[in-house]
Chain A
Amino acid sequence: MPEKSAEALADEFARRRTPDIDPPGRPAGTLYRGHEGMWSWVLHRVTGVAIFFFLLVHVLDTALVRVSPEAYNAVIGTYQTPIMGLGEVALVAAIVFHALNGLRIILVDFWAGGTRHHKLMFWTVIVLWALLMLGFTPRHLMNVFSH
């Protein structure tokens, strides 16, 4: 294989730019930038980090069952307030997206049709996410606000 210079590669990519996503005054789009591929990656990364930091706290608060019933109940009580209840909806939203999109990543990697259908799979993730959240959110808010 002949090696190409950085300039030659850059020229080649420039020529392949899709014209309809090249508005004046903005950085030029590519097949990836500003589209499903990029946003699914951004959301996967942001939700992954958020869940990780929650998990650190969650292992510690659950460990209080080993201290005393009073200590555990006092701390878990702070999870049962209205503000935290809304936070829990956001947390579950992040986890459900990360889980469904993780399955999409795995299909892109291992399924022969994965790369061809990745956009359809992204929108499938969004629809499934919306349906699951429609099931979860009213139920959870009832539990939070009626007690």
Chain B
Amino acid sequence: MSSTIESPRAAAPRRKGANWEKWGWIYMRVSGVLLVVLIFGHLFTNLMVGDGISAIDFGFVGGKLSQPFWQWWDVAMLWLALIHGANGMRTLVNDYVRSETARKVLNGALFAVAAVLIILGTLVVFTFDPCPAGASADLLPSFCGAA
């Protein structure tokens, strides 16, 4: 029995419409470069400066997320990383899952999880109140003043 394999250089038949796989491929690379800067900066400010992990509490996060600079930093990281990660996981699902139905379900789940977390995270960053009323002052950033 002999099956034939198309020559790798044979021209693929042209399909109409945008080539989404190509844009996904480009996205992985563009977001990757940006994420190196965003994630290394994130890890450095949170884990290397001062007392690192042991200094992280509500006051620390409130101090950062009350500044537009860190709000936009975190939101950019959130969108870029979740879309990059979900799209990368889609590659694995397409590689390993052979049943058409299971593949659709898993890729749908990846899309849903990424969408929900992107919306949740964005809302948190932009609706966050670093000085919530009624909270005890020793849990809050120092600029909140006496409650």
Residues of A within 8 A of B (CB): 1-7, 9, 45, 48-49, 51-52, 55-56, 59-60, 62-63, 65-66, 68-70, 72-73, 76, 79-80, 85, 88, 92, 95, 99, 102-103, 105-106, 109-110, 136, 139-140, 143-144, 147
Contact = CB atoms under 8 A, between A and B. Distances in A.
Task: Bin chain B's interface residue count.
Answer: 35 or more
B47 interface: yes
B124 interface: yes
26 contacts: A3-B10, A48-B88, A49-B89, A52-B88, A56-B113, A60-B120, A63-B120, A65-B61, A65-B62, A66-B128, A69-B59, A69-B132, A69-B136, A70-B135, A70-B139, A72-B58, A73-B58, A73-B139, A79-B53, A88-B53, A92-B47, A103-B33, A139-B48, A140-B47, A140-B52, A143-B53
Interface string B22-66: 000000010011011001100100011001111111110110010
A143 B32 contact: no
A99 B35 contact: yes
A140 B43 CA distance: 11
B47 A1 contact: no
Contacts of B52: 139-140, 143-144
Contact of B85 (A51, A68, A106, A110): A51
Contacts of A3: 4-7, 10
Given A62-B61, A106-B29, A139-B52, 10 more contacts: A48-B85, A48-B88, A49-B92, A55-B81, A56-B117, A65-B61, A65-B128, A72-B58, A140-B48, A140-B53
A80 B120 CA distance: 25
B67 interface: no
Main secondary structure of the interface of B (DSSP, over half): helix
A59 B120 CA distance: 8
B92 A6 contact: no
Main secondary structure of the interface of A (DSSP, over half): helix
Contacts of A6: 2-5
Given A59-B117, A103-B33, A4 B56 contact: no
Contacts of A92: 43, 47
A137 to B, nearest CB: 11
A85 to B, nearest CB: 7
Contacts of B58: 65, 69, 72-73
A109 B26 CA distance: 11
Given A59-B78, A62-B121, A72-B57, A103 B48 contact: no
Contacts of A147: 51, 54
B32 A72 contact: no
Contacts of A68: 132, 135
Interface string B85-110: 11011001000000000000000000
